[in-house]
Structure 1
Amino acid sequence: MSTHNHPRRIVLRSLLATGCAWCLPRLSLAQSGKMTKAQAQYQNQPKGDQKCGNCMHFIPPDSCLIVEGSISTDAWCKLWIKKPAEEPVGKM
Structure 2
Amino acid sequence: MATSRWIRPEVYPLFAAMSVAVGICGFQLIRNLTTNPEVRVNKEGRAAGVLENYEEGKKYAEHSLRKFVRNKSPEIMPSLNRFFSDPQRN
TM-score using structure 1 length = 0.33
The structure with more strand, counted as a fraction of residues: 1
TM-score using structure 2 length = 0.33
